[in-house]
Structure 1
Amino acid sequence: MSQRPHHRPMRPGAEFFADLEGGHDPALVREAADRAATLLVRGARASDDAGIAERLERLAETEGLETLAELWSGSPADSLAGCLWRLYVLRSWVYADPSLAARQFEAGRARAQVARVVAGVADPPGPDELREMVDEVLRGIAERDFADVLLRAAAFARVVATGRAQLGQDDAARMLGVAEHLESAAHLELAGELA
Structure 2
Amino acid sequence: MARHRQTTGRGASSSASGLVRPHRPRLSEPDELARFAGGEDPQEVAAAASRLAHALVAGGRAEEDPEVVERLVGLVRELGVETLAELWADAPPVSLAGALWRLYALQEATARDGERWAAWYRAGHAAHAARAVAGAVEPPGPDELRRLTDTILTGAYRSEIDVAFERAGAYGRVVALGQVEHAAAAEAADPALAAGLTRRAARLVSTSEALEEAARAFRNGSLD
Q: Report the structure number with the largest CA radius of gyration.
A: 1
Residue deviations 1:78-102 (CA, integer Å, cap 9, x gap): 1111011111111111011000000
Aligned: 1:62 with 2:78 = yes
Give distance in 2, aligned partners of 1:92 and 1:68.
11
Alignment of 1:133-172 (within 5 A): 133-168=148-183, 169-170=197-198, 171-172=200-201
**Contact 1:53–1:140 at 8 Å: present in 2 too?**
no
* Partner Cα separation in structure 2 for residue 108 and residue 78 of structure 1: 26
Segment of structure 1 superposing worse, 138-147 or 120-129:
138-147
| TM-score for both structures, normalised by structure 2 | 0.73
Q: Which consecutive unaligned segments of at least 5 residues does structure 1 have? A: 1-21
Residues 180 and 201 of structure 2 are in contact (CA less than 8 Å); yes or no, is this contact kept in structure 1? yes
Question: Aligned equivalents of 1:106 and 1:64: distance in 2?
Answer: 28
- 1:14-93 to 2 correspondence within 5 Å? 24-63=40-79, 66-93=82-109
TM (norm. structure 1) is 0.83
Q: Name the SS for the 1:125 alignment partner.
A: coil
Residues 165 and 211 in structure 2, CA contact (< 8 A), matched pair in contact too: yes
Whether the 8 Å CA contact 1:121–1:133 is kept in 2: the answer is yes
Shift of 1:46: 2.7
CA shift in 2, pair 1:96/1:64, >3 Å: closer
- What letter is aligned with 1:172? A
**CA deviation vs aligned residue, 1:145-188 (integer Å, no higher than 9, x gap):** 10011000000001011111111122211111011010010111
Number of the residue aligned with 2:113: 97
Q: Return the letter of the residue paired with 1:82.
A: G
Which amino acid in 2 is paired with 1:141?
A
Query: Secondary structure at 1:109's aligned position in 2?
Result: coil
Counterpart AA for 2:213: S
Q: Which residue of 2 aligns with 1:127?
A: 142
Ranges of 4+ aligned residues in structure 1 off by more than 2 Å: 46-52, 57-60, 63-66
SS at match of 1:76: coil
Identity %: 45
Contact 1:75/1:81 (8 A) holds in 2: yes
Contact 2:170 2:208 in 1 (8 A): yes
> Does the Cα contact within 8 Å between 1:161 and 1:172 map onto a contact in 2?
yes
